[in-house]
Chains A and B, each alone.
Chain A
Amino acid sequence: MKYHVFTLRLLLLAATPLLTDCSTPATKTAAKPATEAAVKGKAADKPVKGDDGEVDEYATAPDISDPLEKLNRGTFWVNDQLYTFLFRPISKGYELILPRPVRKGIDNAFENVKYPVRVVNCTLQGKFKRAGQETGKFVVNTVGGVAGIFRPAENIPALANIPEEDTAQTLGKWGIPHGPYLVLPLLGPSSVRDTVGLAGDYALNPVNWPYLYWFGSRSKHDWVIVPPLSNSLRSIPGQLDNYDTITKDAVDPYLSARSAYSQNRAEAIKK
């Protein structure tokens, strides 16, 4: 029995990073090497001429190598079923119970707590000014926004809409290539590099610190699972909305998700 509880806990935790830090919004959501994608993204800014002599900038849009396409497509299908039959009902229930302003406040608080992920990665990329802005934003939102539930920093132009940094972007900035495209179980689109980045984000997010501290101890500190689980739960509606945006009107949802991921990550690294 104890074993089952432990297994369930592991399964739930496995879903946590996917549903929180690692999942990239559709609009904010990639596989040839990182630098290559970034270079390609750059190239995409400069229209090139196609075979017919017409401008064809889309021939240079960022894309990612996908040697594991068969396996990835299988995982993509399984994820789709899980999203449809497990996460969608959970999401609907969550949205039914909590009104939008409350959900927004919860999202704000969890995003505010992720400050170490952003500030550490700003610093590792040498973006010291941005690290300062992140610190300012964190202080203003924590103090003036009741632990980050509200976002008063949005009203300060210098602190509003700061591009978010994460560990995978830092690795990309350092010239580490994406490696093959991967569709992770539950978590969705990623790459070898971004999966490593995901682990970094997980470790830097204070929400996961109690669990990481007591990991494997099988102690009485069962509460440690609550913060990461709550973080996963609150992010499900947004992630499903992003997933729908990318796949609902797609001709090939798998390719649509891959392209969106590739382009978005290339852009995030540039910012």
Chain B
Amino acid sequence: MTLRFLLPLLLAAAPLAVSAQLAEAQTRLKTAVTEVLSVADRTGNRSALPEKIRPVLKKYVSFETMTKRAVGPGWRQFTPAQQQQASQLFSTLIIRSYSSKFTPGEHPDITYHAAKEPAAGRVDVPTSMVYKGSHYTVVYRMEQMLITDVVIEGVSLIANYRSQLDAQFKKGGANAVISSLTQSVSRPQ
């Protein structure tokens, strides 16, 4: 009887919960972008930027999920130590790549569009960005309020690395993946 009474209420509340989640994801993304830009402005020196924004990004980005998805099905064959090492290397690579696109003092003009829920537990926040006079369409994919992928002009960062890391895994397993990531990280900039 109680259940029958509660059911319509629960059903009515479900969309509200989803829209609240979408709004929260967008707000969180805005906060993350603002924090990153303010750290970039304060740092000024581009070479010091990766280490400065690392703690901020760690708050908003799930590097472990990113690494797992970038490696693909082979991830299950990694030992916990290998998973940790791969995550560490991959996050360094992503942070370095991300930082290199910043020019301190130059802010992108970002328009946040309505967030979507393409699957349970996942939120996509589409944005339009104007940076240095060029337009970009950027979609931030989030899970549990953490960024797990960035899709720029249709190019998913994770899908791009999947094509590379999966090939490495097929060549030589977890060790080949870690070795290729180590090489990339140690490559001079």
Contacts and interface: CB of A to CB of B under 8 A. Distances in A.
Interface of A: 25-29, 41, 44-47, 50-52, 55-56, 58-59, 61, 63, 104, 160-161, 245, 248-252, 255-256, 258-260, 263-264, 266-268, 270
B180 A251 contact: yes
B160 A46 contact: no
Nearest to B179: A251
B101 to A, nearest CB: 7
Interface string B127-151: 0100001011000000000000000
What range describes how many residues of B lie at the interface? 35 or more
A43 B73 CA distance: 18
B118 interface: yes
Given A249-B184, A252-B180, A61 B153 contact: no
Contacts of A258: 163
Nearest to A268: B154
Contact of B164 (A248, A255, A266, A267): A255
4 residue pairs, one from A and one from B, having the closest CB atoms:
A267-B154, A61-B159, A249-B97, A259-B163
B167 interface: yes
14 contacts: A25-B153, A26-B155, A29-B153, A45-B118, A50-B73, A51-B73, A56-B72, A58-B69, A250-B164, A256-B160, A259-B160, A260-B160, A263-B155, A264-B155
Contacts of B18: none
B160 A47 contact: no
Nearest to B138: A27
A25 B156 CA distance: 15
B154 A266 contact: yes
B76 A251 contact: no
B100 A263 contact: no
Contacts of A160: 135
A58 B155 contact: no
B96 interface: yes
A249 B162 contact: no
B159 A267 contact: no
B153 A251 contact: no
A252 B168 contact: yes
A265 B159 CA distance: 14
Contacts of A55: 119, 122
A217 B136 CA distance: 42
B25 interface: no
B162 A46 contact: no
B115 interface: no
A54 B145 CA distance: 18
Nearest to B93: A249
A267 B159 CA distance: 14
Nearest to A28: B153
Nearest to A24: B153
Please indicate which of the listed interface residues A28, A45, A63, A251 has the most CB atoms of chain B within 10 Å of its own CB.
A251
Contacts of A29: 153, 155
Contact of A252 (B122, B136, B164): B164
Given A29-B155, A266-B154, A251 B135 contact: no
A251 B155 contact: no
B159 A248 contact: no
Contacts of B69: 56, 58
A255 B160 CA distance: 8
Contact of B162 (A28, A41, A52, A58): A58
Contact of B159 (A25, A28, A58): A58
Contact of A46 (B96, B101, B118, B128): B118
B159 A44 contact: yes
A51 B74 CA distance: 10
Contact of A260 (B73, B122, B155, B181): B155
Nearest to A260: B155
A267 B163 CA distance: 17
Given A161-B135, A255-B164, A268-B154, A52 B159 contact: no
Given A104-B133, A249-B97, A250-B184, A161 B160 contact: no
